[in-house]
């Protein structure tokens, strides 16, 4: 099992969710986050004074999938989240030792 952590543009969340639902991924966790990458934020101007905004709002979504679903999931996220412009985000894949469903006590693939 892997955790797929994707940081994407906020307005792309809905499309990514629909793409993942279409390949039968049943749940996800979404967090509003702020950060920057190589582009180093952006500049806003108020009454002539320039401010560099370092941390740009993004959403982070986390899904846990069986190993055989990893490549397909990544493909769907990339396809849905890509605009081709700077700041489209990143995807991280992290191994998961164990999953337990609290209500029933089911474990691992049955609990996803």
Query: Is there binding between residue 53 and another protein (CB under 8 A)?
Result: yes
Judged by beta carbon, residue 49 or residue 102, the one nearer another protein is 49
Query: Is there binding between residue 40 and another protein (CB under 8 A)?
Result: no
Query: Is there binding between residue 49 and another protein (CB under 8 A)?
Result: yes
For residue 41, the minimal CB distance to another protein (Å) is 10
Give the C-alpha separation, 110 to 106, whole Å: 6
The values of phi and psi at residue 38, to 5°, are -65, -25
Judged by beta carbon, residue 46 or residue 105, the one nearer another protein is 46
Where does residue 47 fall: left (phi above 0), alpha (psi -120 to 50 degrees), or beta otherwise? left
Query: Is there binding between residue 44 and another protein (CB under 8 A)?
Result: yes
Residues 99 and 1: beta-carbon distance below 8 Å: yes
Judged by beta carbon, residue 38 or residue 47, the one nearer another protein is 47
Residues 75 and 7: beta-carbon distance below 8 Å: no
Q: Which residues bind another protein (CB under 8 A)?
A: 44-49, 51-53
């Amino acid at each position: 099992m892997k955790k797929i952590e994707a940081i994407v543009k906020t307005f792309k969340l809905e499309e990514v969710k629909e793409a993942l639902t279409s390949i039968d991924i049943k749940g996800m966790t979404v967090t509003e986050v702020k950060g920057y990458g190589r582009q180093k934020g952006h500049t806003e101007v108020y009454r002539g004074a320039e401010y560099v905004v370092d941390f740009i709002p993004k959403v982070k979504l986390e899904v846990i999938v069986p190993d055989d679903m990893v490549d397909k999931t990544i493909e769907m996220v990339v396809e849905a989240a890509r605009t081709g412009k700077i700041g489209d985000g990143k995807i991280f894949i992290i191994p998961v030792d164990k999953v337990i469903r609290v209500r029933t006590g089911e474990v691992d693939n049955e609990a996803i």
